[in-house]
Structure 1
Amino acid sequence: MIFRLATRRDLPAMVALLSNPDEDVLVDPLTVEVGEAYLRAFEAVDADPRNELLVLDEGDGTVLGCLQLTYIPGLGRRGIERALIEAVRVRADRRGAGLGRALLTEAIARARTRGCGLVQLTSGKRRTDAHRFYDALGFVASHEGFKLPL
């Protein structure tokens, strides 16, 4: 297995992972419609040097997991850069084998190498298994998050 930056050909597999409301069901990437909005979003993220779409590849091009890593400069915490991890997913049929841990460990290592002083993420309140997973990796639920759909 290898970690690499996502390419446009990975988009159907990533959309299959991210757009499925039932995360425990495996969706065949060949059945996924990758519309113009997904293509625009991918191209924007891919072109932005402060963003990385990271995939865990079986070694044959099969995407087993993905996440987005965004580097955020800021004045808080004495001007440290922070890394935001979003859209973390591992294929339903491959969970429990340490792939999520490996994916997050790689993302954290990339943030460290870049000089970030903090890694943060959010997770839906009902995703209790994910919360236990993040806690086991050393993340602390230190803040209450708020969102405002526009």
Structure 2
Amino acid sequence: MIFRTATRQDLPAVLALLADEEQVLDPASVVVGEAHERAFAAIDADPRNEVLVLADGEAVLGCLQLTYVPGLGQDGQERALVEAVRIRADRRGGGLGAELMRLAVERARARGCGLVQLTSNKRRAAAHRFYERLGFARSHEGFKLLLRP
């Protein structure tokens, strides 16, 4: 297993993971749109953002996005925001998700972040149990305001 920063060549595989949590999609079947290209280029160019993948050879088995947020709280330390955590459906239950999160937390710690935070859809009960097993605490209620339908 290799943990690394995603490249543009990984984009179809990452989008396949994000598109459907319950089945394995062939990355070749995923349409990479102009908005995806712009978003990936922006993340790739921003030192406060990174998409990370867990790969086995050419196959991307997991991904997440880390965003480093500066703030005045926590004695001015950055916080790491984890988003879009996915493990390929046929590889779940073998510890890959825990390893991916462990590596992301290590990366945040090495950067000097004071905490790692994430949100998870209220319907994803299994994901909530997973994050709690990793030591994450339910400390806040999250709110979102959709700006477009």
What is the TM-score normalised by the length of structure 1?
A: 0.96
Distance 1:43 1:98 in 2: 30
Secondary structure in 1 aligned to 2:106?
helix
- Backbone CA RMSD of aligned residues: 0.6
* Deviation, structure 1 residue 72: 0.6
Query: Which letter maps to 1:101?
Result: A
Query: Which letter maps to 1:79?
Result: G
Moved over 3 A (4+): none
Q: What's the counterpart of residue 139 of structure 1?
A: 136
Query: Which letter maps to 1:61?
Result: E
Deviations 1:78-137 (A, max 9, x none): 211100000000000000000000000000000000000100000000000000000000
Deviations 1:51-85 (A, max 9, x none): 11100010x12100000001111011221110000
Distance 2:81 2:37 in 1: 22
Distance 1:28 1:141 in 2: 35
Q: What's the counterpart of residue 124 of structure 1?
A: 121
Q: What's the counterpart of residue 6 of structure 2?
A: 6
Query: Which letter maps to 1:143?
Result: H
Structure 2 unaligned spans of 5+: none
Distance 2:22 2:92 in 1: 9
Distance 2:92 2:79 in 1: 28
Of 51, 63, 70, the residue aligned with 2:49 is 51
Distance 1:78 1:48 in 2: 23
Of 75, 82, 87, the residue aligned with 2:84 is 87
Give the percent of matched residue pairs that are identical in Structure 1 and Structure 2. Answer: 69
Secondary structure in 1 aligned to 2:135?
coil
What is the TM-score normalised by the length of structure 2?
A: 0.97
